[in-house]
Amino acid sequence: MKTRLLLLVSGALAIAACGQKNDNAVTTDTSVNDNIVLGNDANSTAPAAAPLTAQAFVNAAAASDKFEIESSKLAANSATSAAVKSFASRMISAHTESTAKLKSTLSGMSPAITPDDTLAADQQSKLDSLKSLKGADFDSAYSAAQVEAHQKALDTLNGYASSGDNPKLKEFASGLVPTVTAHLNMAKGLK
């Protein structure tokens, strides 16, 4: 009798645990895809589970680079922290390089993909907000914006690298993951 009860309880726990793992896997997967969609366009009406197309990925990458370059140029005049100014200088250089690498990756592709670097509404809003700040207020807001932007970029790169629809762009995305991870860690260290 004890053995039967023990087996029954063990089986119920095993089934419950399996159900929890499935729910977590779905939640984790959905959150990554939510970040991918939000990283591209916060006003998107696409379903959260829809992966980015090659064109959407290229546009997100181009806009991300543009935001990094433009916000970092502001840091040259508005930041007071030497660490923030140094980080900003590195971001201008790194994201200019990233843009060039993206364009090189796209050259000769058929069908052709042309990047559109138009900032998403949230990116433009953050950039506009940074323009009105100076000194320590700028440093703090810029640092927070860099952490958020690099996290979104990392989520987008990881998502596209694992489920993108273009092999050359998947390789491009996975190749940038270590660099963007390093940038994210540097940005977190600015606080």
CATH number at residue 171: 1.20.1260.10
Give the count of domains, the chain.
1
70 inside domain:
yes
Owning domain of residue 88? 54-189
19 inside domain:
no
At 52, the pLDDT band (50, 70, 90 cuts) reads: confident
72 inside domain:
yes
Note the pLDDT tens digit of each residue in 1-12. Answer: 433 333 333 333
Tokens of 55: 């064109």
Residues in the chain: 191
Q: Could you check whether the bond before residue 111 is cis, i.e. omega within 30 degrees of 0?
A: yes
Return d(Cα 68, Cα 73) in angstroms, integer: 8
173 inside domain:
yes
Q: Is the pLDDT of residue 103 over 90?
A: yes
111 inside domain:
yes
Task: Give the per-residue pLDDT at 50.
Answer: 56
Note the pLDDT tens digit of each residue in 145-191. Answer: 999 999 999 999 999 999 999 999 999 999 999 999 999 999 999 96
Share above pLDDT 70 across residues of the chain, in percent, rounded to a whole number: 73
Those residues whose C-beta lies under 8 Å from the C-beta of residue 163, and which sit 6 or more positions away, are 51
Tokens of 4: 């039967």
36 inside domain:
no
pTM: 0.73
13 inside domain:
no
Task: Give the per-residue pLDDT at 188.
Answer: 96
9 inside domain:
no
Angle at 139 between CA 138 and CA 140, to 5 degrees: 90
Those residues whose C-beta lies under 8 Å from the C-beta of residue 128, and which sit 6 or more positions away, are none
